[in-house]
Amino acid sequence: MGTPHNEAAVGEIAKTVLMPGDPLRAKFIAETYLEDVTCFNHVRNMFGFTGTYKGIKVSVMGSGMGMPSIGLYSYELYHHYGVENIMRIGSAGSISDEVQVKDIILAMGACTDSNYAYQYRTNGIFAPIADYKLLKNAEEQALKLGISPKVGNILSSDIFYHDDPEVNAPWAKMGIMAVEMEAAALYMNAARAGKRALCMLTVSDHILKGISLSAEERQTGFRQMMEVALNTAVAVDNL
């Protein structure tokens, strides 16, 4: 039996799920990389697919945009479908001189301006972090493909069109590499469920320098990230 947002039956989703924001990107990954593919979800067009990659069962599903959206879908995957590992694979805007467009980021931590953590009633500020085993394996798989990922802290923001043009300067001062909109909620859901999560990002824009990748460059860069994530899924299959 499914949920209000996912029509999959229990057992139709693999224990490792890759989550791009765009459901059409999930469809692209399934059609390009997976074998024996089945579509397990059409609800709200948030497509989800399960297939095999190098003989290992893997699922891929869109998360939508923002922390409320990935929070909803990842919660259901962890709690209703027995998913153990979720890897967000998305885009980000750099706010660091050390991180350039086309770079791949492995988000060790995810600062946030969101109030998502209020529900846990922690007596202080909860620090959302990646699962170390997923992070370690992803870095190893990237290096095998000749990719040197940037590993460090990012910002998950609730606001895309911010009214304050200087809003990112204090974060940059604290060593934040890039801004995106989902990872912190994913990391919190994983922590609460006792599961694993990792956010992997391709830098599509440099916010401070006003540089953006072309559509063709985005496609190439995102494919590298997809391959790192898929190979990581295979590597962690026995975790």
Main-chain phi, psi angles of 167, to 5 degrees: -60, -30
**CA-to-CA distance for 111 and 173, rounded, in angstroms?**
13
Query: What is each CA distance from 80 to 13, 130, 133, in whole angstroms?
Result: 10, 21, 23
Provide the residue type at 185 as one letter: A
**131 noted as active-site residue:** no
Closest CA to 21 of 234, 207, 200: 200
Question: What is the number of helices (H) and of strands (E) in the chain?
Answer: 6, 10
Which segments of 113-171 are extended strands (E)?
Answer: 150-156
Q: Which two tokens stand for residue 136?
A: 């370690």
The active-site residue out of 22, 163, 164, 205 is 205
Closest CA to 60 of 233, 236, 235, 238: 233
Which segments of 6-141 are extended strands (E)?
Answer: 16-19, 35-41, 48-53, 56-61, 85-94, 104-112
The angle, 0 to 180 degrees and rounded to 10, between the axes of the packed helices 183-193 and 67-80 is 20
Hey, which residues are catalytic here? 205
